[in-house]
Amino acid sequence: MGGQIEKTNKKNLVMYLVDEKIYLSVKFTSWSSGKAGGFLALDWCDGSEVGALARKSFALHADLARDLGVDYGYRKMRAYSASLEDNKEHAARGGRRRGPAPAWVDRKHVKNIQTIGTEDTVAQVHPKLLTEALLDHVVRLGGTVKSHTKAEKLHVDPQSNNKVTGLETSNSKDGACDLIEADIVVFALGAWTTEHLKHIMPDEYRGTLPT
C-alpha cells in the first residue's frame, strides 16, 4: 500500500493484506501517516541502496494519480532550501551561492535560497487521502475490509526450524479469533517494528526465528 501502513499503539498491527482482505485495528491513517507531508523525490536517493526503489516509487505515484481517477492531492512542484544566513555567511560555512529567490520569498528574513527540485523531480501527495483512495480501489476490485482486528500472536512450527505458520488475530467487536495461515509475515512499522514483535512473538522463540 505504498508505505501507508501504521499502528495505533505498541500492540496493534493496523493493516495487513491477505489475498483480497484488508484487516484494520482501528482505521487508516489514524496516526502520523495521515498527517505527514507526503513529499516525493525522484533522485535524492541516487547512489544509495534504495536509489532504484525511490525512482520506481516516484514513477508509481505518477501512475496512481493518473489511473485511480481520484483527487488525493497529488501535484508536481518545485522545492527550495532556505536559510536565515546571508550568502557570505552561507559561503563561509561551505555552502554554494545560488540565483535569485522566487518572488514570494520574504528576503527580509530568508537570506539564502536554492532550488533543490523541479516539477520533473519533486511531487507531493496528501497521505490520508491517498490511503483512502487506495482502500476504495481495493474494495471496487472486490476486496473486503475487516475493521477492529488486532494482530495478537505469531504462530511458528518448532518441528520445522521455527518456521512461521500464521498470524492469530482478534476482533474487538464480535470477539472472534482467527488464524491467518501464512509462511511469510511482513512487518512495516518503521521504528516500532521491534517493539511490536515483543507483543506478538512467543517468548520461547524470540531471537530464534529465521529472518
Q: Does the predicted TM-score (pTM) go above 0.75?
A: no
Q: Please tell me the least confidently modeled range out of 43-57, 69-83, 153-167.
A: 153-167
* Cα separation, 147 vs 144, whole angstroms: 10
What is the residue type of 42? Answer: L
* Cα separation, 101 vs 160, whole angstroms: 63
H or E element that contains 16:
strand 15-18
* Cα separation, 26 vs 192, whole angstroms: 17
> What are 147-204's pLDDT values in tens digits?
788 888 888 887 887 788 988 888 887 778 888 888 888 777 777 777 777 778 766 6
